[in-house]
Chain A
Amino acid sequence: MIIAVASGKGGTGKTLVATSLALSLKDSRKVRLLDCDVEEPNAHIFLRPVITGKEAVCIQVPKVDEKKCTYCGKCAEVCAYNALAVLPDRVLVFPELCHGCGACSYLCPEEAISEQGRETGVVEWGNADGIEFVQGRLTVGEAMAPPVIRRVKEQADGNGVVIIDIPPGTSCPVVEAVKDSDFCLLVTEPTPFGLNDLVLAVETIRQLGIPCGVVLNRAGVGDNKVEEYCRKENIPIMLTIPLDTEIARLYSKGITLAEGMPQWRESFGQLFDSIKETVDERNRSLKR
């Protein structure tokens, strides 16, 4: 089962929830945590994994053989991202703009284009006290997160529970990370910003046809509009974490709830049980 942990707005505690959930389940099942927030991966701070392997993520960018090239201009014409410009006696390649689609090399009539990998990030894996850990890191200065996310997502198979830490927001990196999940937990806080971004996140997740539930973090500040919204939209609030200086202090030191306040493990276990119930129920009705 794949559980995505997301939040429209960043900084609502999604990493805290994802890592606490993983730690609360690891003694009873096989758990794998994928950190797909590749722009700012933080799960490792809380889980402190031992990294045992790593691999570069590369985009295949064109390399033009000037000996074969006749400067016909075909490659620049087909590239949707303006990553190639053909001058009368030269071809300019802008590797940062290339999405690695392969159209130019395939369509070059002179077969003058080959491809070479350009590293834009890394995928690392290891073990955190029994939790299988995988994370992606976008190289600083690189723009495109989705290829790195895709590579991390390849590790989302296998049996057991896969928990994915999703990047914040609602755009392409989020969709790339969330799709194919069985369930999405949306972590939010009871403030106007929290609500605004939750509404956007719900729209995104619903468009992907994935069932979702809410974790309300820092309850006690703000107002009760998030609760009203969830009631109206029929979205279950599956866990409430209060605003608590002790939790905030632990968080600042990179300590999860499951570790710093072990009494929370039970709540996370129950959270998992209700997710499982929803997913099983849905699978049954899809079969029918």
Chain B
Amino acid sequence: MREIVVLSGKGGTGKTSIVGSLAALAKDKVLADCDVDAADLHLLLKPSLKEKTEFWSGQTAVIDEEKCTRCGLCQELCRFDAIKDYTVDPVACEGCGFCFHICPVDAIAMEENLSGHWFIADTKYGPLVHARLGIAQENSGKLVAQVRQKARQIAQERNLDYILSDGPLGIGCPVISSLSGANAALLVTEPTLSGIHDLERVLGVCRHFGVTAEVCINKYDLNEENTRRIEGYCADQGISVAARIPFDNAVTEAMVRGKPVVEYASGRVSQEIEKLWDGISGIRS
């Protein structure tokens, strides 16, 4: 079984649209939406929900007004400035428990956080594990780990070849969590200066965690000079460019109809995405 994570660093490069199409092309796989912060893959795959599970993670301090003697020690020691006027601001609280341990009259309790939900669903392309981080919650990395663990379990039980995962944006905690221990990463970029800058950073993270990466340049014809720059950069880095996909409004039209573009249009975009799937056979096996 191989786990392939699709990342982009920067948003809006078309990562999820590409994952949706790869989902339609790949056989025998489980899909994992690790973009738990703003999950969109389900909009293309029309899942039917099988299982919904609460995700409890982390804690928040709560001060019992009756017991509190207003000594102010917690306020002074909390490094996250989460306590003001003897009440805890749940948004600022990191759940470290320092205040709980030092309160001289035991007025502080630590309460568990309901940080989100994760789901198992069926789609016509195979099983999908996805999640929804609660609004303004922390611990997205742990929720990603949960999604991956479940996806792996399903892949093992059903003897599937792949875990295809739609990764989170950025380079921080959830990205690291989606990447560590995966077999390969496909990095979707676009020929803009921002796209190039972010590609370099996300590639750095892949390197840091020893994950092999290949690149896909989406909307390559938006700026062919920048496309050549990306190709040059990848060549210097010894990274292969698996595909160049043209810009086409069909991608958005397919999204509006809730379909992967390869099932909506047969033009060049779809042909190039098919080539992409063949092109990454190296990191697929």
Contact = CB atoms under 8 A, between A and B. Distances in A.
B138 A192 contact: no
A138 B223 CA distance: 28
B123 interface: no
B133 A171 contact: yes
Contacts of A207: 135-136
Contacts of B169: 10, 39-40, 168-169
B172 A103 contact: no
B59 A80 contact: yes
Contact of A80 (B13, B95, B168, B170): B95
Nearest to A60: B79
A222 interface: yes
Nearest to B174: A171
Chain B's interface size range is: 35 or more
A157 interface: no
Given A45-B193, A140-B205, A172-B136, A193 B97 contact: no
B98 A103 contact: yes
Nearest to B191: A252
B38 A249 contact: no
Contacts of B208: 140-141
B258 interface: yes
A144 B171 CA distance: 10
A168 B38 contact: yes
Given A141-B208, A175-B136, A252 B255 contact: no
A88 to B, nearest CB: 24
A193 B166 CA distance: 14
Contacts of B193: 45, 252-254
Interface string B177-201: 1000000000000111110011001
Contacts of A13: 12
Contacts of B114: none
Contact of A168 (B16, B91, B141, B170): B170
A12 B11 CA distance: 8
Interface in B1-29: 9-13, 16
Contacts, number: 179
A167 interface: yes
B172 A221 contact: no
Interface stretch (A24-32, A50-58, A94-102, A229-237): A94-102
Nearest to A40: B198
Interface in A1-30: 7-13, 15
B136 A204 contact: yes
Contacts of A172: 136-138, 140
A208 interface: yes
B172 A144 contact: yes
Given A42-B198, A100-B79, A253 B223 contact: yes
Contact of B223 (A80, A100, A145, A252): A252
Interface string B94-114: 111110011000000000000
Contacts of A42: 10, 194, 197-198
A102 B208 CA distance: 28
Interface stretch (A123-131, A195-203, A261-269, A272-280): A195-203
A110 interface: no
Contact of B172 (A145, A222, A253): A145
A251 interface: yes
Central interface residue in A171, A196, A207, by most chain B CB within 10 Å: A171
B192 to A, nearest CB: 4
Interface string B236-267: 00000000000001001001101000000000
B13 A11 contact: yes
A103 B133 contact: no
Give the size category of A's interface with B. Answer: 35 or more
Contact of B133 (A12, A141, A167, A170): A170
A16 B80 CA distance: 32
Contacts of A196: 38, 40, 43
Interface in A204-249: 204, 207-208, 221-223, 248-249
Interface in B136-169: 136-138, 140-141, 168-169
Contact of B192 (A103, A138, A179, A252): A252
A45 B197 contact: yes
23 contacts: A11-B13, A40-B171, A40-B198, A45-B194, A45-B197, A103-B101, A138-B172, A143-B172, A145-B172, A169-B37, A169-B168, A169-B170, A170-B38, A170-B133, A191-B252, A191-B255, A193-B255, A222-B252, A222-B256, A252-B191, A252-B193, A252-B222, A254-B192
Interface of A: 7-13, 15, 39-40, 42, 45, 78, 80-81, 99-103, 106-107, 138, 140-145, 167-175, 179, 191-193, 196-197, 200, 203-204, 207-208, 221-223, 248-249, 251-254
Interface of B: 9-13, 16, 37-38, 40, 43, 59, 77, 79-80, 91-92, 94-98, 101-102, 133, 135-138, 140-141, 168-177, 190-194, 197-198, 201, 204-205, 208-209, 222-223, 226, 249, 252, 255-256, 258
